[in-house]
Amino acid sequence: MSLTEAPKRSPERDAFYTKLNDKNFSALWTVLNNLITPTPKSACQPHRWEFAPARELLMEAGNLITAKEAERRVLILENPGMRGQSRITTSLYAGLQLVLPGEVAPAHRHSQSALRFVMEGSGACTAVDGERTYMEVGDFVITPPNAWHDHGNESNAPMIWMDGLDIPMLSFFDASFAEGLGADTQALTKPNGDSQARYGANLLPVDFERTGLSSPLFNYPYTRTREALEAMRRHDEWDPCHGLKMRYINPLDGGSAMPTISPFVQLLPKGFKTTSYRSTDATVFTVVEGSGTTTIGDTTYHWKPKDIVVIPSWCPVVHQAHEDAVLFSFSDRVTQQKLGIWREQRSAD
């Protein structure tokens, strides 16, 4: 028996395998090398989606169906190695959502966690658990598991954001629950900015009791993120693999802002080239500012603002910034860390 090679077949063995198959058995030694691989083997492929053609298709969708009829008018980013499975990585889903002026995406809730990363538009809003937030380009917004949420656009321009959800992960665990509210919008029980005031000022209500694993903050505005990155570039050393890379945290415990998804933002200064890096969390990134290239294995992808790139597990990655660049990314790192299976390798050539 070998971890890398299956034993030879023979007519006698094949006959036995057929007999096993009829009784809902199979022989481990015929599949072991594919089950327990020396390093990650994934169907997930690296890929880049350019924003401009994606936007054209979204606008075409906008003429075909309303947000209300669609429930969510989203173009799913299908990983080329896993077509038809609604996955951008093995464990994560991503899509591009369009809400046109005057539209609503009706209130519903589900056990899947969602993040929004705003790509275009200004002043559309999402309501989460009785509170509304208005969204701007670069804002990172969370819908925690089982939270009622609806989206609206009272501005006079289209609003486009990237959705990231843990849909494949919950399918894997057969743990999907969902329901509609039966109304376009949920009742608002809190003033705008309530959670920012309560949890976003390094303060907590004195008798605060935690209810879920998600951050009590649900909008991380880009203006504050960008200011932080800019202030740090004057003092911090650049990390050879990451430039200046930050995690979006849950202020209650410093862990990931979301229970199953790790969101990040990073600054790469003009001319910076990272050293090769790989990790077991397949990562999706989108470009907020700047342009550059990312080499994944032996393929190089050029990127510019709003493009989306997926990096599969354990593929060596090198980023190069042609101008000051800001990348937003997300992966299942926090889940892998909770399970004790996450690995990384710096200088992964």
Two structure tokens written together for 261? 């998804």
Question: Residue 78 interacts with ligand GTQ (CB under 6 A)?
Answer: no
**How far is it, in rounded angstroms, from Cα 346 to Cα 235?**
23
DSSP result, 79-125: -GGGTTS--SSSS-EEEEEEE-TT-EEEEEEESS-EEEEEEE-EEEE
User: In residues, how long is the chain?
Assistant: 349
Q: Shortest approach of ligand GTQ to residue 45 CB, angstroms?
A: 21
Question: Residue 129 interacts with ligand GTQ (CB under 6 A)?
Answer: no
Nearer to ligand GTQ among residue 32 and residue 75 (C-beta): 75
What is the pairing mode between strands 114-120 and 122-128? unpaired
Nearer to ligand GTQ among residue 166 and residue 307 (C-beta): 166
Question: Residue 133 interacts with ligand GTQ (CB under 6 A)?
Answer: no
Question: Residue 163 interacts with ligand GTQ (CB under 6 A)?
Answer: yes
Q: Which one among 135, 142, 165, 327 touches ligand GTQ, defined by CB under 6 A?
A: 165
Nearer to ligand GTQ among residue 74 and residue 261 (C-beta): 74
Question: Residue 229 interacts with ligand GTQ (CB under 6 A)?
Answer: no
Two structure tokens written together for 205? 């209500």
Q: Shortest approach of ligand GTQ to residue 308 CB, angstroms?
A: 13
Mark 89-128 with x for binding to ligand GTQ (rule: CB under 6 A) and - for no binding.
Answer: ------x-x------------x---x--------------
The number of residues that bind ligand GTQ (CB under 6 A) is 9
DSSP result, 175-232: ---EEE-SSSSPPP-S-TTHHHHHHSSS---TT----SSS-S--EE-HHHHHHHHHHH
Question: Residue 74 interacts with ligand GTQ (CB under 6 A)?
Answer: yes
Nearer to ligand GTQ among residue 127 and residue 165 (C-beta): 165
Residue number of the CB closest to ligand GTQ reads: 163
**Binding residues for ligand GTQ restricted to 307-336, rule: CB under 6 A:** none
Contacts of 36 (CB under 8 A, 6+ apart): 3
**How far is it, in rounded angstroms, from Cα 71 to Cα 65?**
10
Nearer to ligand GTQ among residue 97 and residue 335 (C-beta): 97
Nearer to ligand GTQ among residue 151 and residue 242 (C-beta): 151
Neighbours of 278 (CB within 10 A): 24
Nearer to ligand GTQ among residue 168 and residue 216 (C-beta): 168
Two structure tokens written together for 86? 């609604």
SS3 253: coil
Q: Provide the binding-site residues for ligand GTQ, judged by CB under 6 A.
A: 72, 74, 95, 97, 110, 114, 149, 163, 165
